[in-house]
Amino acid sequence: MSNNKNEIHESEKKLLLNHDYDGIQEFNFPLPNWWLTTFWGAIIFGIGYFSYYIIFNGPDLKHEYFVNKEEIHALRAEYLAKLKKFDVNTYTSYASSPEMVKHGEYVFNMNCVACHREKGAGDIGPNLTDEYWLFAKGTPETIFPFIIEGNPLNGMPAWGELLGEDDLYAVTAYIMSIQGYPHENPKAPQGEIPEKE
Ligand code: HEC
């Protein structure tokens, strides 16, 4: 190792490891700072993460899911409560528009005929055109909230969860428009004739 090319520079001497393999020596270069920073950073982050989530039971995804679910329930309840408030002016604007009543017929044909038959003659669900009523009292302000709430245990879905406000007002207006429709073989009356207020 007398040859100039292999001579070790003074500044590098302190990096030489203290051993010699048949004349072969080894440097010990320090790890680069970026690497060390990442390494120690990851360890510190790991300790923090582990303490927060495992030792101190920090909120995890499951917790977030339940919080969100509760929020959604609350929002839905609030929405349905608001939706159920029958607004006469809105209703009148729907009922007085032949187009909206026609739209109500469309909503009825898409969602209701399966149980209430064409033009509400009644089948699984009661006849919606006679004077007899089980829940609603034959008026828009009693029919509207009943459609929203339904009676799912008896097979009448809660439409407030499925239809928008427009469709609900329109279908109520449609039901009012078919009162007294002369059906050929309607379902037998169910419920009572509501007392006039
Ligand atoms: C899967 C069957 C089914 C569908 C679909 C259905 N209903 Fe009903 N509906 C019923 C049944 C059953 C009742 C009676 C509930 C009871 O006896 O508790 C009822 C009751 C009603 C009543 C109350 C009648 C009364 O006498 O007080 C109204 C109003 C009504 N439905 C409107 C609708 C509208 C509007 C739709 C479509 C948006 C609809 N229903 C779709 C089964 C259905």
Tens digit of each residue's pLDDT (9 = 90 or more) over 163-197? 999 999 999 999 999 999 999 999 999 999 998 76
Other beta carbons less than 10 A from residue 91's beta carbon: 19
Of the candidates 76, 77, 87, the one whose C-alpha atom is nearest the C-alpha of residue 144 is 87
Kindly report the CA angle at 31 between 29 and 37, in degrees rounded to 5?
Answer: 160
Q: pLDDT at position 99, please?
A: 98
Span from the CA of 158 to the centroid of ligand 1 (angstroms): 9
Q: What is the mean pLDDT of residues 150-167?
A: 96
d(CA 108, CA 159): 11
Residue nearest to atom 12 of ligand 1 (CA): 125
Per residue in 74-119, pLDDT (tens digit) is: 999 999 999 999 999 999 999 999 999 999 999 999 999 999 999 9
- Tokens, residue 2: 């007398």
The per-residue pLDDT of the chain, averaged, comes to 93
Per residue in 131-140, pLDDT (tens digit) is: 999 999 999 9
Q: Which residues contact 95 (CB under 8 A, 6 or more apart)?
A: 101, 140, 173, 176, 177
The response to whether residue 178 sits with its C-beta less than 6 Å from ligand 1 reads no
The response to whether residue 147 sits with its C-beta less than 6 Å from ligand 1 reads yes
Q: pLDDT at position 2, please?
A: 46
Q: pLDDT at position 1, please?
A: 45
Q: Give residue for tokens 């007398």.
A: 2
- Looking from the CA of residue 107, the nearest atom of ligand 1 is 38
User: What single letter denotes the amino acid at residue 40?
Assistant: W
Q: pLDDT at position 142, please?
A: 97
Span from the CA of 139 to the centroid of ligand 1 (angstroms): 15
Residue nearest to atom 18 of ligand 1 (CA): 154
